[in-house]
Every structure is written in structure tokens, then in C-alpha cells.
Amino acid sequence: MKNITEVKDLCTGCGTCAGLCPQNIIKMEIDQKKGTYVPIIKGECNECMICIKVCPGIAVNFEELNEFVFQEKPKDIILGTYKNIYVGHSLNEKLRSESSSGGVVLQLLLSLLDGKIIDGALVTRMSKNDPLKPEAFIATTKDELIDAIGSKYCPVPANVALNEILNSNFKKFAVVGLPCHIHGLRKAERLKKELKEKIVLHIGLFCSYGITFLATQYLLYKLGIAEEEVKEMVYRTGDFPPGYMIIKCMNGSTKKVSHVKFWNLVFNHLIFCSSKRCMACRDQTCELADISIGSGWFPYLQYNLKNHSLIITRSEFADRMIKRLNGSEMKMLRVEGKNGLKRLQEMEKFKRDFLKPNTGILKLFGNKVPSYGVSSSKEKRISTGMYVWSLVRYIKTELSTKKYLWPIFKFFQNLDK
Ligand SMILES: Cc1cc2nc3c(=O)[nH]c(=O)nc-3n(C[C@H](O)[C@H](O)[C@H](O)COP(=O)(O)OP(=O)(O)OC[C@H]3O[C@@H](n4cnc5c(N)ncnc54)[C@H](O)[C@@H]3O)c2cc1C
């Protein structure tokens, strides 16, 4: 490969190439058909190959990167390196309710900024001018951090903002990202020492699969709301898990859609609004982050209990930073060792087990797949049923891009049921 545009369907849309390009000529633009961000070269490329070297779409060598990040082989073959597993939530009721899980990401960032442990953080908010577009930026104040609260269930090229970190006079940053963002960032840090020195905490979000813009577009289509009519989009908020979305329109009306209904519509229905590259991902809990945070999906937390976050600390520093919050800003419950670990392993293993059938199906249809530098040796035997499941997912992913079929699909599901 000569440059990043040749990565094509392997691209995760993370933006690392654009953030690291020394000539600053790579821009992330939306591919309307796929509903994802893709890199475009705008200028004369000198083929330095940095974009290819940092691209997590092509390859993520987990063994080497684990060694680079933690100086050791993963403690757990499924979950990666970890120190402790916790369940917790912010003690600020407003933040807890407005966040997507327990508000732990925000609470942690606020505490780091307040304690001058960081000068700023790379976070993502929805654009004020273009409410359906995400905007990754460096937040340096409490208000800016709060502005970025909540999960954005759309593609986010967050690592574009890495060049701001590189060019900033500030010295210490935290970064929040999905597994693909953190993969790209770790590859970039191996190449650029100053990036490694400046980023003191990598906060990774759990991710089963990324979601394309087609999901939002299909939902709006189903609701009969034109995209230009949307004034504000909040993807996931509310007191009780898993919460709901809020769509505020220019005419003053507001629509609430439960997260479960949104999820069913864009994943469990006739279409699967994710990318082919996400089908080939093996990392749900963000193995290369210093701290990984997800929703409180443990069964004992799910019945009528308010939002909680699941927390895996992977480095001593991250563990200290979380313990620092305990009591004053965050209520933390230590997960009973083995049960919590087992539950998380099962979750991650589900994704790992499907890697082989998923990549098999992708290859069958002529798609390239990423290389991970590790064998998935602990996989269980792959049954025919799993291949069928992967095939169905592949077909549904393809169908999600066929907008001309949406008028037909639309009749098969009633959002109010
Ligand atoms: C696409 C996607 C898929 C997910 N899948 C799962 C899953 O399968 N299982 C699970 O347990 N959890 C999943 N999560 C994580 C979950 O939704 C919460 O983000 C996480 O639990 C943290 O919640 P919180 O209340 O502590 O975060 P908050 O305090 O609300 O803070 C969220 C932080 O995440 C950042 N952020 C939000 N969206 C994005 C994004 N798309 N890319 C980069 N940064 C972002 C914001 O800038 C903010 O700093 C997913 C999140 C996303 C965006």
C-alpha cells in the first residue's frame, strides 16, 4: 500500500492517519453510501507511510502492543491485562442520569482536571452547527468536559484531534475512545514518543460493534423526521439503564426513543447498521486502554436499578485514579472477584468466538481482513450455526446500505411496539 486511501473497507474510521499526517493533508469525510468516515488525501502526498504504520484497520499486533503498553503478556488470555474490576457510578445524580452508563468516564475526567493531573482531554460532543455530526475536541474546562457527556452512537473519527495534542503547549492529556481509537493511538505512540509522553491516561469504552450513520438516518426515516429538521441529538441518556435517545426538532417538538427500540431497529431487524470492518474486530473491552469502561450489564444490576458503569483498571496508575474517586465523587462497589471476571470473560469470549466465522464469511465474499498477530487458539469449535449467524449478519450489513429498500423494510417493524 502506498497511502491510506488504499485501506478501503479495512478502515475503522478512527482518524489516526489524519491526526498523525505530517503534511496534514488527510481529511476524514463521510462516505454517504456506507455511512462511515473514510480518509481522503487533499494535496500532494510524499508517501512517508506514517498513515499506514499507525492504521489499526490493517493490523493490530496485540502481543507486541501489550508488551509495549504493559511490559508484559496479558494476565488473562480473554480479558487482557487487568488490575481490578469494579462497578460504580457518579455520586452527582444529574451527571449520573445524563450520562450513558454511570457517568464514571466524566467523573474521572473532572477529577483529573481538578487535581491538575491532566490539562485537557480528547473527548467527543455532537456539533452545535451540524447536530448529526460528532466533533472530537480537546476539552480543557469542566464545562467542556460536561458538554461531551454520553455515548455517541455514530461513527467518530476521534483521533483526528491527536494533532492538537501534539501541537499543544499543554503537557498532560487523557484520551477517551472506542477500542479502534485506542488501537490506533497505541500504534501512533510507538512511532511518536512525544504522544506517549503527553497522554497520561487512555480511557477505553467497551464496544460490541460500531454503528454507521445509516442507523440514525434509518431511525429518522422511520419517524418521518427530515435530517435538516434535527436541532439536537442525544443518543443515550436517562436515569435507568439502558436509557433512551432524545431528538429535538427545529419546530420545538421532541421525540424520545428507548435505547432498546433503537437497537432492535438497526441491529436486530432486517438490517445491521455496522461496518464490515467491525465484523472482524476481536476486542470488546478495549484491551489496550489503561482503564476500560462499559455499561453495568451484570444481571444483578439490571432490574430497576439506576445507571452503573463497569470498570476494568489495567494499570497501577489507572487503578489509583479510580480509587481516588471512591467515596467523595463516585460510589464504587468492588465486583466480587471471580463472578465479575467470569461474566466479563464470557462477554469478550462471545466476540472472540465469532471472529473466525465472521472473517471466514468476509473472505468468502472477497473482503480483506485485519491481522492481529495472535492466534485465536482458545476458541471453541466453530459450529455450522455460527457460520450461518455470521452469514446473516454479513447480508444484513450489506442490506443496511441499500437505502432504496428502506421503504419496504420500514413496514416490517413498529417502533411503538
Ligand atoms: C459505539 C459504542 C458502542 C458501545 N458498545 C458497548 C457495549 O457493547 N457494551 C458496553 O458495556 N458498553 C458499550 N459502550 C459504552 C457505553 O455506551 C458507555 O460509553 C460507557 O459505559 C461509559 O459510560 P459513562 O456513563 O461512564 O460515560 P459518560 O460519562 O457518559 O462519558 C462518555 C464519554 O465517552 C466519549 N464518547 C462517547 N461516544 C464516543 C464515541 N463514539 N467515540 C469516542 N468517544 C466517545 C465522550 O466524549 C465522553 O467523554 C459503547 C459505546 C459506544 C459509543
- Whether residue 416 is predicted with pLDDT greater than 70 in this model: the reply is no
Compute the distance from residue 40 Cα to the ligand 1 centre, in Å: 27
Compute the distance from residue 245 Cα to the ligand 1 centre, in Å: 14
Residue 417 lies in a domain: no
Residue 177 lies in a domain: yes
343 pLDDT tier (thresholds 50, 70, 90) = confident
What local confidence, expressed as pLDDT, does residue 375 receive? 61
Q: Which of 108, 145, 151, 267 to mutate to test the pocket of ligand 1 (most atoms within 8 A of CB)?
A: 151
From atom 21 of ligand 1, which residue's Cα is the shortest distance away?
Answer: 294
For ligand 1, whether the C-beta of 90 sits within 6 Å is no
Across 343-352, average pLDDT: 90
- What kind and span of H or E run contains 219? helix 213-223
State the Cα–Cα distance between residues 416 and 81, nearest whole angstrom. Answer: 43
- Whether residue 124 is predicted with pLDDT greater than 90 in this model: the reply is yes
* Cell triple for 58: 490493517
Find all residues with CB under 8 Å of 342, minimum gap 6, and list them: none
State the Cα–Cα distance between residues 314 and 79, nearest whole angstrom. Answer: 10
For ligand 1, whether the C-beta of 89 sits within 6 Å is no
Residue 260 lies in a domain: yes
User: Which region among 72-76, 82-86, 189-193 has the lowest average model confidence (pLDDT)?
Assistant: 72-76
For 124, the domain range is 1-412
For ligand 1, whether the C-beta of 258 sits within 6 Å is no
- Biggest CA–CA distance in the chain, Å, is 57
What local confidence, expressed as pLDDT, does residue 11 receive? 98
For ligand 1, whether the C-beta of 149 sits within 6 Å is yes
Residue 188 lies in a domain: yes
In which residue are the cell numbers 456506507 written? 34
For ligand 1, whether the C-beta of 124 sits within 6 Å is yes
Residue 68 lies in a domain: yes
Residue 402 lies in a domain: yes
Compute the distance from residue 45 Cα to the ligand 1 centre, in Å: 34
Q: How many domains does the chain have?
A: 1
Residue 226 lies in a domain: yes
Residue 284 lies in a domain: yes
What local confidence, expressed as pLDDT, does residue 76 receive? 87
- Whether residue 106 is predicted with pLDDT greater than 90 in this model: the reply is yes
Tell me 264's DSSP state.
I
CA quadruple 70, 72, 78, 83: dihedral positive or negative? negative
Across 303-318, average pLDDT: 90
